[in-house]
Amino acid sequence: MTGQNSGLRVVVSGGGTGGHIYPALAIARGVVARGGEVLYIGTATGMEGDIVPRAGVPFAAVGSAGLSRSWSVHNVAALGRAGWGVVQAHAALRRFRPSVVAGTGGYVSAPVVLAACALRLPTLIHEQNAIPGLTNRWLGRLVDGVAVTFPAALPYFRHGRVKCTGLPVRPDILVADRVAARRNLGLDDEAFFLLSFGGSRGAKSLNQSMVEVIRALGGQPDLHLLHLTGQAGQAAFQAELDRRGINLANYGNVKVDAYRDQMADLLAAADLVIARAGAASIAELTVLGRPGILIPYPYAAGDHQVANAGELVAAGAARMILDRDLSGDRLLESIEELRRDRPLLGRMGRSAGELGRPRALDDILDFLEELTFGRS
């Protein structure tokens, strides 16, 4: 199936966190690249209300709100807003007249997908994590198709057509080249490059542990270390370095920043990556075939980051340290073990690459076409 000039008119919906928004945006851009038209439906107050219009994707806002896991007065009001969101989504769908509707999770996708079901439009949801969220578990009983990132999520969906497609990654990740990336970053061919980051906001426990790692590895000429603290953690990290008497100016092999724009080059160039276990980070690591030490976020719904990391650990592609067990000494021990054993590190990278799904976006778009036109 070529997928060119498909003529699809697609509504995508996902919100609340970047983990739901960016896959929906990737699908939206993919539809346009295939000659289709797209409308993104989200909430005006969620992150998507800012991110999507800035990305140049047509956007319509509806009302919705998340439900607490336990009964509360808040849930009564949230159900009312969700009901009104279904009415608003129904009207938006009738105006746009899509050929198929895709939801990527978050509470806003529920009223949109429900309205699509009421209009008997083909529907698809995409689940990013190894343990599905509550919204997608429920919607999975109603929709025509379910696309999942991890095989471990398949047993949660027993209705309709279910496929393991993977998670779309950014185009710059798909074309990143290790040799060119190391040249761009000024890294020697033989130098060991360690990259650590906790996401855009940072990870407090990782930041604390990396202070000890920097103290131990600083000044070693055959190693380069870059740690990204996240914007929220930068000041506290620098204060801890100062308290410990660690002056980065004395460590020519260590750099610390809040963030870097060139993440594709950094990931491609890295010999070892330390990160949380969000679905997007794992998708990028596996597409690039990078070995990792994964530290799951301990407050993720349903502990899904532990399950995400477990998929890579089971395949021999990564090591996992639970957040409650994380310390500078523990992290340093894992780094040094892998750094000393280059053959093991190579096998981990190859195992990661075998899990990568560089065609994830195309497979999702093909799935949308199948649901719309009945092709397989």
260 and 159 share one domain: no
Token digits for 195?
């990259």
pLDDT one-digit tens code per residue, 210-258: 999 999 999 998 999 999 999 889 999 999 999 999 999 999 999 999 9
Domain extent, residue 117, equals: 9-168+358-373
164 and 238 share one domain: no
365 and 239 share one domain: no
Residue 75: predicted pLDDT: 43
d(C-alpha 55, C-alpha 368), whole Å: 22
DSSP 186: T
Query: Integer distance in angstroms from the first to the last C-alpha of the chain?
Result: 9
**CATH number of 215's domain:** 3.40.50.2000
3-state secondary structure (DSSP) of residue 102: strand
Residue 261: predicted pLDDT: 87
Residue 4: predicted pLDDT: 56
Residue 163 placed within a domain: yes
Residue 3 placed within a domain: no
160 and 275 share one domain: no
191 and 98 share one domain: no
Residue 38 placed within a domain: yes
Of 183, 48, 179, 40, the closest CA to residue 98 belongs to 40
pLDDT one-digit tens code per residue, 91-112: 999 999 999 999 998 888 999 9
User: From residue 122, how far is each of 99, 116, 175, 220 by CA, in Å?
Assistant: 7, 7, 33, 58
Of 251, 190, 189, 201, the closest CA to residue 226 belongs to 251
Radius of gyration of the chain (CA): 22
Sign of the dihedral defined by the CA atoms of residues 20, 23, 27, 30, in that order: positive
345 and 279 share one domain: yes
200 and 141 share one domain: no
Residue 351 placed within a domain: yes
150 and 242 share one domain: no
**Structural domains in the chain (count):** 2
Of 253, 290, 254, 255, the closest CA to residue 275 belongs to 290
Query: Which residues are registered as beta bridge partners of 256?
Result: 227
Amino acid at the residue 321:
I
49 and 62 share one domain: yes
CB-based contact 14:109 (threshold 8 Å): yes
Other Cβ atoms closer than 10 A to 294: 26
Alpha helices, DSSP H only, in the chain? Answer: 18-33, 48-54, 73-96, 109-118, 134-139, 171-174, 178-185, 204-217, 234-243, 263-269, 279-288, 304-314, 328-340, 342-355, 360-373
214 and 226 share one domain: yes
DSSP 218: T
d(C-alpha 195, C-alpha 222), whole Å: 14
Query: Which residues are registered as beta bridge partners of 101?
Result: 11, 123
pTM of the complete model: 0.90
Residue 134: predicted pLDDT: 82
d(C-alpha 156, C-alpha 2), whole Å: 31
Sign of the dihedral defined by the CA atoms of residues 277, 279, 281, 284, in that order: positive
147 and 196 share one domain: no
Token digits for 63?
């009302």
Which residues of the chain, if any, have pLDDT below 50?
1-2, 67-79, 375-376
Residue 217 placed within a domain: yes
139 and 197 share one domain: no
Residue 335 placed within a domain: yes
Nearby residues of 49 by Cβ (< 8 Å), 6 or more positions away: 42, 43, 59, 61
Residue 1 placed within a domain: no
User: From residue 27, how far is each of 36, 122, 215 by CA, in Å?
Assistant: 11, 16, 43
| Helix, strand, coil tally for the chain in percent (to 5) | 50, 15, 35
